[in-house]
Amino acid sequence: MPRPADPALPAIVILTGAGISQESGLATFRDPDGLWQRHRPEELATPEAFARDPALVHGFYNARRAQLRGVSPNAAHLALAELDARWPGELLLVTQNVDDLHDRAGSKRLLHMHGALREARCTRCAAVLPWEEDLSTATPCPRCGTAGGLRPNIVWFGEMPVGMDRIGRALDRCDLFVSIGTSGLVYPAASFVAEVRGRARTVELNLEPSAGSALFDEARHGPATALVPALVAELLARCG
């Protein structure tokens, strides 16, 4: 049943990356002081790295999980949460981020396609558990009791991102695609704009042009805490 597109209420898909959390104090991946400047992705964010040196990989994620206790959602996260609460049309916020700042800001129509720092997954019984503390190979799984099987519930390079079917359906239906704070270097997230351009309006909000900037109908450059509230105000003005 084709959905009557309501120009006043476009179906919206928003993609966020590490840049939206930068002003909350969390390092991004590829900026000069980014996470990968100190660690190479293939050394840490792969199943092979975890098999080779689980203590190193656990340490990397334990440090990032602990850092979450000292940061808060910023004006960009809060503006997206207000849009989530007040937008009467279709909306899905897809984040590449593994921090919980969108969750804490109050976004509900939210999908973490690269997993979540504050979750652990047992490779023995497949349980996914909320997790606040450090993880190690000695930590027993609260569900099956075995030690050595718990890993961060994070999507590493070479692993299938979470929710791709739901994301694909939302992209098929979207009239407005907004990319915020991502360098457009990691796939399949970086391919979403190419999937929708031509049939959805595409907007990039980023500190500087991303790798995919040329694919967007419109690009606004500056800090997310300025650009995102402004765009949300424009959208909410359309729905009264």
Least distance to ligand BV8, CB of residue 92, Å:
17
Q: How many residues bind ligand BV8 (CB under 6 A)?
A: 36
For ligand BV8, which stretch binds (CB under 6 A), given 6-14, 131-139, 168-176, 201-209? 201-209
Told to judge if 114 belongs to the known catalytic residues of this protein, a careful annotator would answer yes
Least distance to ligand BV8, CB of residue 224, Å:
4
- Tokens encoding 182: 């991502």
Q: Is 23 in the site for ligand BV8 (CB under 6 A)?
A: yes
Binding flags for ligand BV8, 37-56, as an x/- string (CB under 6 A):
--------x-----------
Least distance to ligand BV8, CB of residue 182, Å:
3
Binding flags for ligand BV8, 72-101, as an x/- string (CB under 6 A):
------------------------xxx---
Among the listed residues 29, 131, 177, 216, the single contact to ligand BV8 using CB under 6 A: 29
Please give the full DSSP string across the chain, using - where no structure is assigned: ------TTS--EEEEE-THHHHTTT---SSSTT-HHHHS-HHHHSSHHHHHH-HHHHHHHHHHHHHHGGG----HHHHHHHHHHHH--S-EEEEE---SSHHHHHT--SEEETTEEEEEEEETTT--EEE--S---TTPBPTTT--BS-EEEEE--TTSPPTTHHHHHHHHHH-SEEEEES--S-STTGGGHHHHHBTTBEEEEEESS--TTGGG-SEEEES-HHHHHHHHHHHHHHHT-
Least distance to ligand BV8, CB of residue 79, Å:
13
Among the listed residues 68, 101, 154, 193, the single contact to ligand BV8 using CB under 6 A: 154
Identify the helix (H) or strand (E) that includes residue 119. Answer: strand 115-122
- Residues lying near ligand BV8 in the complex (CB under 6 A): 17-19, 22-23, 28-31, 34, 45, 96-98, 114, 154-161, 181-183, 185-188, 206-208, 210, 223-224
Residues noted as catalytic: 114
